Structure 1
Amino acid sequence: MSSHPTPEGGGAEAYQQKMNEGAYAEARMLIERQIAGGPAHEDLRDAYAEVLWRTGEPERAVQMYLEMAREAVRQEAYTRAIGFLKKAHAIDPTNAAVPALLTELSKQALGVALTPEALSRCSLFELLDENSFRILSQAAVWRLYMPGQVILKAGTPSDQRLFVLLRGVAEVLYEGETEPIPVGHLQAGDIFGEVGLLTLRPRSATVVARSRTDVLEIPAGAMSQILTQRPEVRDMLMQLYQVRLEKTLKAVKAAARGQRRKGA
């Protein structure tokens, strides 16, 4: 973040320090001095929107984030626009302008509408820069699955695709010795397919749509480029893999205990 000193002694370091300390009223005064001194750069406006929210003016904060998101969309800076919309939605989940602009943005960038719920739950998009998001948007494919349709089948070879569930609900089933074991559900914003992508092993679970389900499918080539350019995406997927592995092991053990009780 750039520093823009003012005659009063404020600057990026000063207001950021106050924000870090939770002194939002003081940070707001420092920012307003800078804004009064000339055009406000994006980082300053972003900080100002946050302190407006923190000091009791959420409506103004949301309007600022929406304004910055619209500007970013016009510049085709989609990751910045997504970031601003995510902040606006966190402040006011009922604001109808957020899903409207998000639909416009995502259809323009991805060819399919994102929902605020998917945006708030999905950590992938916020880890991308403009270049890696462009790779994703040019390669990703939207798929529609109806209830009961299999999205991924356990045991099939990994082709290193990654998936983002955009809308609907899907169930994850681990292939047990005698029958499939339910290990969880996926909802809007959830990522799946990370095991095959990271380990190159066959798919470890079956994923079945339990409602009309929209899925964004990211091909292997695009994911390879993204992982090379954005190592933090690999880190996020590895953490997701470890959390799900622990959850699956617990579910399998619980199922095994249930089988033993039935056989006793």
Structure 2
Amino acid sequence: MEKILEVKPGETILRQGEEGSGFFVLKSGTLEVYKDDVLLAVIMYPGTIFGEMGDILGRPRTCTVKAKNSASIAYYPVDSLDELVTANPEIAVKLIRTLASRLDRTTQKLIDTARENPLWSTK
């Protein structure tokens, strides 16, 4: 079920546009998230889940993730997602919290943008 991968600095873990086949959990190291070759985020906290969006939505990967330095990551194949969350409910809770946190950040960014741009204002 879980497969541990050791990646080298600069190595691509997943690529924007490719079909998802599973999701990942950072064990150690630092990763960089790119969208259209623009650095969007850095993943540095062990336990951070990434690469799940395409699998959950049935869409291609939305970002490219590369190792900034040597990193260890756990890979979970998508075909075992149901089995995984049944056997490990804490993974399901972590996925829900991860998605809720991302939705909250996106909503806040939208609110901030609307406040900064009078054309978006409803007043």
TM-score in terms of structure 1 length: 0.37
User: Given that residues 148 and 210 in structure 1 are in contact (C-alpha distance below 8 angstroms), is that contact kept between their aligned partners in structure 2?
Assistant: yes
CA distance in 1, matches of 2:88, 2:7: 30
Q: Which one of 17, 27, 30 corresponds to residue 166 of structure 1? A: 27
CA distance in 2, matches of 1:241, 1:147: 27
User: Given that residues 30 and 42 in structure 2 are in contact (C-alpha distance below 8 angstroms), is that contact kept between their aligned partners in structure 1?
Assistant: no
User: Given that residues 227 and 234 in structure 1 are in contact (C-alpha distance below 8 angstroms), is that contact kept between their aligned partners in structure 2?
Assistant: yes
Whose RCO is larger (CA < 8 A, sep 6+)? Answer: 2
- The 5 Å alignment of 1:30-69 reads none
What's the counterpart of residue 78 of structure 2?
220
Equivalent residues, number: 111
User: Given that residues 170 and 186 in structure 1 are in contact (C-alpha distance below 8 angstroms), is that contact kept between their aligned partners in structure 2?
Assistant: yes
- The 5 Å alignment of 1:97-108 reads none
Greater strand fraction, Structure 1 or Structure 2: 2
What's the counterpart of residue 195 of structure 1?
53
What's the counterpart of residue 119 of structure 2?
none
Q: Which one of 15, 18, 22 corresponds to residue 153 of structure 1? A: 15
What's the counterpart of residue 237 of structure 1?
95
The CA deviation string for residues 59-118 of structure 1, in whole angstroms up to 9 with x for no partner, is xxxxxxxxxxxxxxxxxxxxxxxxxxxxxxxxxxxxxxxxxxxxxxxxxxxxxxxxxxxx
Once the two structures are TM-superposed, the CA of residue 238 in structure 1 deviates from its matched residue by: 2.6
Question: What one-letter code is carried by the residue in structure 1 that aligns with 2:27?
Answer: L
Is 1:209 matched up with 2:67?
A: yes
Question: What one-letter code is carried by the residue in structure 1 that aligns with 2:35?
Answer: Y
Greater helix fraction, Structure 1 or Structure 2: 1
CA distance in 2, matches of 1:216, 1:232: 15
User: Given that residues 27 and 46 in structure 2 are in contact (C-alpha distance below 8 angstroms), is that contact kept between their aligned partners in structure 1?
Assistant: yes
Cα root mean square deviation, aligned: 2.7
CA distance in 2, matches of 1:152, 1:246: 24
User: Given that residues 32 and 39 in structure 2 are in contact (C-alpha distance below 8 angstroms), is that contact kept between their aligned partners in structure 1?
Assistant: no
Summarize the Cα distance change of 1:208–1:221 in structure 2 as closer, same or farther, 3 Å threshold: same
Query: Which has the greater radius of gyration?
Result: 1
Tell me the secondary structure at the aligned position of residue 234 of structure 1. helix
Tell me the secondary structure at the aligned position of residue 47 of structure 2. coil
What's the counterpart of residue 184 of structure 1?
42
CA distance in 2, matches of 1:153, 1:248: 22
- Any gaps of 5 or more consecutive residues in structure 1? 1-138, 258-264
CA distance in 1, matches of 2:75, 2:19: 16
Summarize the Cα distance change of 1:171–1:246 in structure 2 as closer, same or farther, 3 Å threshold: farther
Once the two structures are TM-superposed, the CA of residue 229 in structure 1 deviates from its matched residue by: 4.7
User: Given that residues 194 and 241 in structure 1 are in contact (C-alpha distance below 8 angstroms), is that contact kept between their aligned partners in structure 2?
Assistant: no
